[in-house]
Structure 1
Amino acid sequence: MLSTIAIESLKRRKTTAILTLLSITISISLLLCVDIIRSQVKTSFTRTVSGVDLIVGAPSGQLNLLLSSVFNIGTPTKGIEYKSVASLKSNKQVSWLIPLSLGDTHRGFRVVGTTNSFFDHFKYGDMQSLEMAEGSVFTQPLSTVVGADIAKSLGYKVGDKIIISHGLGSVSFNNHDDHPFTISGVLKKTGTPVDKAVYVTLQGLEEAHTGPKLSPTSMLGRKSADKANEHEHEHEHEHEHEHEHDKHTEEHAPYNSEAFTPESVSVVMLGLKHRVTALQLQYQINQSKKEPLMAILPGMALAELWQIMGNVESLLLGLSGLIVICALIGLATMLLATMRERYQEIAVLRTIGAGPFTLLLLIQIEAMLLTTVSAALSLGLVAGLMSMLKPWLSSTYGLFLSSPLFGQSSVIIILLILGCTYLVSLFPAVAAYKRGLHAGLNANS
């Protein structure tokens, strides 16, 4: 009965009620969006790298190792000898291994030396693999694969040549001009630090630093070529067609980036056969006496890093809460402002037997109806908006929305808003209650 009266009363004040409804809906939607993005950003942040069970480097602190290997910020203090890398690779618990060599840049972007195993095993978000927008992975020692942001900002495409520089500054006077790298592929947008990195082969990176004469693989290749040339001159007429066939086969043989063994690398990412053994292997690596090494669990390190930035999400949530409170105060103001217009309505209700307490409940029901409808509209609006923006958020900002969007925190927010509505509506409800008393006294006089 009272609900029906409340709805009819709101219909008579349709314009004011709609504006108030719109204000509350926008405020609740904003608060829900902030809450969803806050929780999803935290989840996406902790999934900047996924599928990597351990990150191993020189002892330099957990966060420093994480920042240098995953976010391309800073650099490890020293490298890892390759004999240690070979030992990790041969470990029975290790399924795959990604070596990373850091310390160079290209026009302010980080250069990462690695192998094709990086593109095979590195994952992000919901275990999403890296994909090529164009081109392919490393096809020769001086191949490079660039991130989507670099290709877009510098206008690079497959086949272009780039020069890398030694050091991490945006301007370097030590360019490796004698060893230009050819872009073999451009990665699709991931919304992660991968988009802002240049990936080169470990072989090409070492040759750029030391020269091809010091590269064991290059030396072997040259010696083999010299012997082949001598042999070809000796039997030029006898085996001409056979050598042409061998040369054709050699030119089209796939490049094996794993065959090269550098002197050292900066960081190693490990994927284990069984993730439950991660803590055990981490302890073994950290206690190793052969070479001082440090192994970290990327998930735990990312969670620790997020705690440092936790104040930002609290601030955003607090500001959104203030906006909702302002909207609810506007609701109370609207109800108070219409009280003068409702004197005749209150008198009629008193005449048909409605008591002061009934008038108090009527005003509170009106307020709760407006907020409940606003909350329902906000849930639908936010769900639709997030569904539409999901591809854009994942590709542009690396924000991977996962279901369900509305969790326990969203339920708590809605309940708190309804509770605050009840408290705020007390002011106009008490005014209606007092008006009902006066109307009753006037009727008896």
Structure 2
Amino acid sequence: MSGLVGLAWASLRNRRATVLLTVLTLGLSVLLMLGIERVRQEARESFLRSVSGTDLIVGARSHPVQLLLYSVFHLGEPTANLQWDTYEKLKALPPVAWTVPISLGDSYRGYRVVGTTPAYFEHMGYAERRGLPFREGRAFAGLHDAVLGADVAEGLRHALGDEIVLAHGTARVAAHRHEDQPFRVVGILARTGTPIDQGVYVSLEAIEAIHLNWRGGVPMRRGAVDPARIPPELLKPKSVTAVFVGLDSRLETFTVQRVVNEYRGEPLIAVLPGVALAQLWGLMHGVERALLVAAGVAVLAALMVLLTTILSTLKERRREMALLRAVGAGPRHVFALLLAEAALLTGLGLLLGLLLLQGGLAALSPWLEARYGLFFAPGWPRPSEWALLAGIWFGGILLGLIPAALAYLRSLQDGVAVDR
């Protein structure tokens, strides 16, 4: 067997230019397929880690995915708010360790404004990390302090101390702005690769303050409250959009969920983030399949190039096959030689694809983690990737059966005769 592999290797070295092009084509297609598979897996894991450390999300009764979309990803609009008294009762439940309320409804130049408490920066997390690090500055403390996500700061080129004016509503083109109460940027969050990067964060009291002089979605012309002299009792929140909940023990998760879902004061729903995220990801299954099919077509095309390369050399190698027969090789040896060449070519393409993938990950991993929150660590392929590699290798061997069979038949016909 080793002699056959050595002979196949010597034959490939004799045709190195063609072989190199074939291996490069196959290697690039393998890189594409493995890269798509790695991105798919890491994107899914990053997607599922978007609400790291949160045990429940509570909001007005709606579909779990809808609650997840507007509370975590800031997509869509909430069906209703939950009352502040309800929030305080939820916070007082014995198994509840911490709560982070959020209030949505305003925007800043296309980015969502999130009213919350300083606990947001302490308890919210991503990628199994607890707490949100600041790139610059600090959390809001004053009534008109604002903290920007990384995308907001970079996209709009804001720095600490800049003055911003929030807009009423979430439309990109705002009809009304809260110009009477500008905010000052006091903090900029480090990049997380999650929707947190696209938020503007202010206090719940600030949300109440900017809406004191509004009625029915429009500013009041008469009887307005002086923003510089707002009584503290007017700043108490009346309602919040959703609440992120952390528990002392995850064994209490279903107990608290049942209490919330059966609450009689108003219709509520408590959602397990992981379950809702899995449901949401299931809606994207078709996109995953489409990407894998596209990569599979690229690999199939590369394997066809391999097949064409071997077939195109069969006629030129007829003398070589005759000489092998002359020194005692039978048709089966010729068949095995062509099959071994196909296996070697495919194996070299797989090896090149793996090396390109690992090199690319080593070079781009820090940038991808900082920019998109995707962590790609170079290392051994995952089980699903081993399965893909094995499938490609066996596919190359199966295609190698075609030229091997042709060489076998021609060897039987030619014997030791050589066409001149």
Give yes or no for TM over 0.5. yes
Report how far residue 261 of structure 1 moved.
3.8
Shift in alpha-carbon separation, 1:404–1:298, aligned structure 2, 3 A:
farther
Aligned-partner Cα distance in 2 for 1:4–1:220: 86
Shift of 1:32: 0.8
Counterpart code for 1:5: L
Q: Secondary structure at the match of 1:421?
A: helix
Tell me how far 1:402 sits from its aligned partner: 6.1
Q: Supply the distance in 1 between the matched residues of 2:93 and 2:204 (Cα, whole angstroms).
A: 22
- Counterpart for residue 177 of structure 2: 175
Question: Superposed, which structure 2 residues align to 1:328-407 within 5 Å?
Answer: 328-401=303-376, 406-407=381-382
Give deviations 1:350-405, integer Å, cap 9, x for gaps.
Answer: 00111111101100001101111221232232123123222222222232336866
1:202 pairs with 2:204: yes
Q: Which has the higher helix share?
A: 1
Residue pairs, 1:184-333, within 5 angstroms? 184-210=186-212, 218-220=230-232, 261-333=236-308
Aligned length: 405
AA at the equivalent of 1:374: G
Identity of aligned residues (%): 40
User: Please, which runs of 5 or more residues in structure 2 have no aligned partner?
Assistant: 214-223
1:292 shift after superposition: 1.7
Q: Does 1:134 align with 2:109?
A: no
Offset of residue 427 of structure 1: 1.4
Contact residue 24 and residue 371 of structure 1 kept, 8 A: yes
Deviations 1:39-98 (A, max 9, x none): 111111111121111000111221111111101112212211111111111111111110
Conserved? CA contact 2:26–2:299, under 8 Å:
yes
Q: 2 CA distance for matches of 1:24 and 1:128?
A: 43
Please give the alpha-carbon distance, in whole angstroms, between the structure 2 residues aligned to 1:151 and 1:94.
34
Secondary structure at the counterpart of residue 51 of structure 2: coil
Matched residues in 1 for 2:280 and 2:113: separation?
24
- 1:194-238 C-alpha deviation (Å, 9 max, x unpaired): 1111111111110110159599x952599xxxxxxxxxxxxxxxx
- The structure 2 residue matched to 1:47, chosen from 26, 46, 49, is 49
What amino acid is aligned across from residue 419 of structure 1 in structure 2? F
Take 2:125 and 2:33, find their aligned partners in 1: how far apart are those partners? 32
Partner Cα distance (1:415, 1:41) in 2: 24
Q: Distance in 1 between matches of 2:175 and 2:309?
A: 68
| Equivalent residue, structure 2, for 1:233 | none
Q: Give, in angstroms, the shift of residue 186 of structure 1.
A: 0.9
Which structure has the larger Rg?
1
Identify which of 399, 403, 420 aligns with 2:395: 420
Q: Give, in angstroms, the shift of residue 128 of structure 1.
A: 5.3
Give the 3 Å change call, closer, same or farther, for CA 128–434 of structure 1 in structure 2: farther
2:219 alignment counterpart: none
Which of 9, 15, 21 is 2:23 aligned to? 21
Partner amino acid, structure 2, of 1:373: L
Q: What SS does structure 2 have at the residue aligned with 1:290?
A: coil
CA distance in 2, matches of 1:88, 1:219: 27
The match for 1:236 is: none
Distance 1:148 1:184 in 2: 13
Residue 34 of structure 1 deviates from its aligned partner by 0.9
SS state of the match for residue 173, structure 2? Answer: coil
Q: Name the counterpart of 1:245.
A: none
1:138 maps to a residue whose letter is F
Pair 1:75-2:77 in alignment: yes
Which of 157, 162, 165 pairs up with 1:163? Answer: 165
CA contact (8 A) 1:189 1:396 kept: yes
Change (3 A) 1:402 1:129: farther
Separation (CA, whole Å) in 2 of partners of 1:278 and 1:269: 13
| Candidates 116, 120, 137, aligned match of 2:118 | 116
Query: In 1, distance between residues paired with 2:411 and 2:339?
Result: 15
- The answer as to whether partners of 1:104 and 1:168 remain within 8 angstroms in 2 is yes
The one-letter code sitting in structure 2 at the alignment partner of 1:47 is R
Partner of 2:231, secondary structure, is: helix
For the aligned residue pairs, the C-alpha RMSD in angstroms reads 2.0
Q: State the Cα distance separating 1:336 from its structure 2 match.
A: 1.0
SS in structure 2 of the partner of residue 425 of structure 1: helix
Supply the distance in 2 between the matched residues of 1:6 and 1:58 (Cα, whole angstroms).
69
